[in-house]
Amino acid sequence: MTDNRRFILSLSCPDGVGIVAAVSKLVADNRGWIIEAQHHADQEARRFFMRQEILAESLPFEIDEFRQRFATIAEQFQMDWAISDSAQPKRVVILVSKSGHCLYDLLSRWKSGELVVDIPAVISNHEDFRSLVEWHDIPYYHVPVPREQKDLAYEKIAHLFDTLQGDVMVLARYMQILSRQICDRYPGQIINIHHSFLPSFVGAKPYHQAYQRGVKLIGATCHYVTEALDAGPIIDQDVLRIDHTDATADLVRYGKDIEKTVLARGLRYHVEDRVLLHRNKTIVFR
């Protein structure tokens, strides 16, 4: 739909007087129609965050000139900023292992047009989902991750990601711990779904840990991957009530429902440029 094409401006900068005034003056002077706007001032960090969606056709110029004009304001206020184009869907590379519920869910949302992204490839260390993925006309790459050659495998994945011009890598229950190199190479670009309510139950077998501890709610957490295991900035979380009748296998089974929902939600926030990062935390303009 060209007619509701939007430019999405997102920025953060040291907090101060006049930021909103300067940005909105630029947009208003050019008769820009703001569809959605949010800002947030972090009192403690003294930092300001902003996101605006502007109707592309309401502006008298294209995205390049918008960027050029905005650069002056950005410099003045020392902004980290980006302007993206809703007509250019993000390119999402999905990594999957042997659990298919998140993959199925993402494909379903993509197929129905609910999740507006391009999926240039699914990469897996197993062959299990080749047929399903290829039925969706999406290329499937089998990249085994042998225990003694993990770095080589991750190098292959990084190469694929670059070649496919991926914007974001989604670990859809990938079950492999990425190397420090790959984490550092794509900061804020790798999204993981961890099957616990972080920071509880970091690492392997969180449902087993949850069962042992006897918690009454289980959770799932969508977060950016950093080199510190399951410790990256959290995008979204959710929980589900359980009770004493539920064995570990039940937790694994029920947990899937929140894993896929939370991952899809977190990914949507990301590809719609709703997530701004500050140190190890996220500002999510829903």
d(CA 173, CA 199): 18
239 contributes a contact to a copy of itself by CB under 8 A: yes
173 binds a copy of itself (CB under 8 A): no
Which of 66, 87, 108 has its CA nearest to residue 263? 108
CB of 159 to a copy of itself, least distance (A): 30
**Chain centroid offset of residue 82 CA:** 16
Whole-angstrom distance, CA of residue 191 vs CA of residue 187: 10
Determine which one of 118, 167, 230, 236 is catalytic. Answer: 230
Write each residue from 240 to 279 as x if it is in contact with a copy of itself (CB under 8 A), else as -, in one continuous string: -x-xxx-x-----x--xx---x--x---------------
CB neighbour list of residue 184: distance below 8 Å, 6 or more residues apart: 227
Window 107 to 136, contacts with a copy of itself (CB under 8 A): 107-109, 111-112, 114, 131-132, 135
Minimal CA–CA distance to 120: which of 144, 98, 139, 148?
Answer: 139
Instruction: Give residues 203-232 in contact with a copy of itself (rule: CB under 8 A).
Output: 213-217, 219
Interaction residues for a copy of itself, span 178-197 (CB under 8 A): 197
In the list 74, 95, 234, 251, the residue contacting a copy of itself (rule: CB under 8 A) is: 234
Distance CA 279, CA 214 (A): 33
31 counts as binding a copy of itself under rule CB under 8 A = yes
Q: Of 136-165, which residues contact a copy of itself (CB under 8 A)?
A: none
Judged by beta carbon, residue 102 or residue 157, the one nearer a copy of itself is 102
- Which of 6, 14, 33, 225 is the binder for a copy of itself (CB under 8 A)? 33
Instruction: Please give the Cα distance from 15 to 25 (Å, whole number).
Output: 18
Choose which of 83, 198, 251, 267 interacts with a copy of itself (CB under 8 A).
198
* Least distance between a copy of itself and beta carbon 241 (Å): 7
Interface pick for a copy of itself out of 1, 2, 3, 21 (rule CB under 8 A): 21
Is residue 2 within the footprint of a copy of itself (CB under 8 A)? no
Separation in Å, CA 208 to CA 195, 205, 241, 262: 11, 5, 16, 20
Minimum distance between the CB of residue 250 and a copy of itself, rounded to whole angstroms? Answer: 10
Residue 281 in the binding site for a copy of itself (CB under 8 A): yes
Q: Is 236 an annotated catalytic residue?
A: no
The whole-angstrom separation of Cα 180 and Cα 184 is: 6
CA–CA separation, 86 vs 89, rounded Å? 6
- Looking at the DSSP bridge assignments, the partners of residue 123 are 95, 141
DSSP one-letter code for 65: H
Q: Shortest distance, CB of residue 162 to a copy of itself, whole angstroms?
A: 29
Residues annotated as catalytic (active site), given as ranges: 230
